[in-house]
Amino acid sequence: MGRQSVFLLGVLGFFIYVGTRIASGIGTLPTVVLMLLLFAGIGGYRSIHGLKKKWAKQVLLTAVHLEMAFLSFLLAFVLIRDLVFFPLSYWKPEVSAIAFGWEGTLALLVLSALALVLGVLIARAGPRIVRVQIPIKNLPSEFEGFSIAQISDLHVSGSTAPSFVERVVEKTLALKPSMVALTGDIGDGHIEESRDTLKPLSRLKTETTFGSFYVTGNHEFYWNGPSWIEAFASLGMKTLL
């Protein structure tokens, strides 16, 4: 069985589990409609990339990403509910009845939606800067004050606004790092849709003393890893493999 088949079976199992667990609370028909809408969006993810109009592609890609995030939150909350309230059903059946009934299921859907909104707000705020000092014994004096800015998991795709990448670059350069390390999952999707969006990253080489270095993540290789490596090389980054 190929990797893609395993992935599709995993996605199918994912939908079946979530669907059956919430069906007992809100009914079969609403659950089927919800799951079909989510599955149709996620299932059509790759076909969206064939659209000619950029605005339509961006809107649909954004919608699919939101669907995937919502379903991920829903799965997490369903698992937590099941792990907590299944054991309680032996001692507090009345409490479990509420948790697995329409009230509890509706609460899961609302919590998933709220978590999605919070996630979007956090993402739009841009990356958070965390400063870490690493003491190194017998460090040569010429390396005193040497700093590395690490950037990870930007997941730049066809739905990413260029202003987001520009903001990341501005924040990074404001730190005045000696060098920059991009450590995987910087890209996510077909590189042809993201080349222009990635262009500001070239400043990370030209405006730092030791330039920028890049290592791939798994998401680049979901979408033709070598093409992403070539794209980052064209931006002046040295790829470490």
pLDDT band at 145 (very low <50, low <70, confident <90, very high): confident
Domain count, the chain: 2
Q: Which two tokens stand for residue 221?
A: 């290789």
151 and 219 fall within a common domain = yes
- Range 24-29 contact pairs with CB under 8 angstroms and sequence separation of 24 or more: 24/100, 24/101, 24/105, 25/100, 25/101, 25/102, 25/103, 25/104, 25/105, 25/106, 25/108, 26/102, 26/105, 26/106, 26/109
The more confidently predicted of residues 140 and 12 is 140
Phi, psi of 87 (to 5 degrees): -60, -35
For residue 156, give the DSSP letter. B
98 and 176 fall within a common domain = no
**Does a structural domain hold residue 164?**
yes
The tens digit of pLDDT for each residue in 170-209 reads 999 999 999 999 998 998 878 888 888 999 999 998 888 8
pLDDT band at 7 (very low <50, low <70, confident <90, very high): low
Q: Which of 124, 156, 173 is the last residue of a domain?
A: 124
Residue 213 confidence (pLDDT) = 93
pLDDT of 218 strictly over 80: yes
pLDDT of 22 strictly over 90: no
The more confidently predicted of residues 180 and 30 is 180
pLDDT band at 44 (very low <50, low <70, confident <90, very high): low
**Does a structural domain hold residue 63?**
yes
| Paired strand residues for 212 | 180
The CATH number that applies at residue 222 is 3.60.21.40
**Does a structural domain hold residue 133?**
no
Give the C-alpha separation, 230 to 220, whole Å: 11
Residue 181 confidence (pLDDT) = 94
pLDDT band at 1 (very low <50, low <70, confident <90, very high): low
**Does a structural domain hold residue 27?**
yes
CA atoms within 13 A on the CB side of 45: 18
Give the C-alpha separation, 215 to 212, whole Å: 10
Q: Which of 94, 124, 154 is the last residue of a domain?
A: 124
The more confidently predicted of residues 236 and 65 is 236
User: CA 209, 226, 198 angle in degrees (round to 5)?
Assistant: 50
Residue 51 confidence (pLDDT) = 63
Answer yes or no: are the C-beta atoms of 38 and 74 closer than 8 Å. Answer: no
Residue 71 confidence (pLDDT) = 84
32 and 120 fall within a common domain = yes
Give the C-alpha separation, 218 to 58, whole Å: 22
What residues make up the domain containing 13? 3-124
The tens digit of pLDDT for each residue in 93-136 reads 787 788 888 888 899 999 999 999 998 888 877 788 899 998 88
Helices vs strands, H then E, count in the chain: 11, 4
pLDDT of 15 strictly over 80: no
Q: How many other CB atoms sit within 10 Å of the CB of residue 66? A: 16
106 and 8 fall within a common domain = yes
118 and 147 fall within a common domain = no
The tens digit of pLDDT for each residue in 55-90 reads 667 777 777 778 888 888 988 999 999 888 887 777
pLDDT of 217 strictly over 60: yes
Residue 52 confidence (pLDDT) = 66
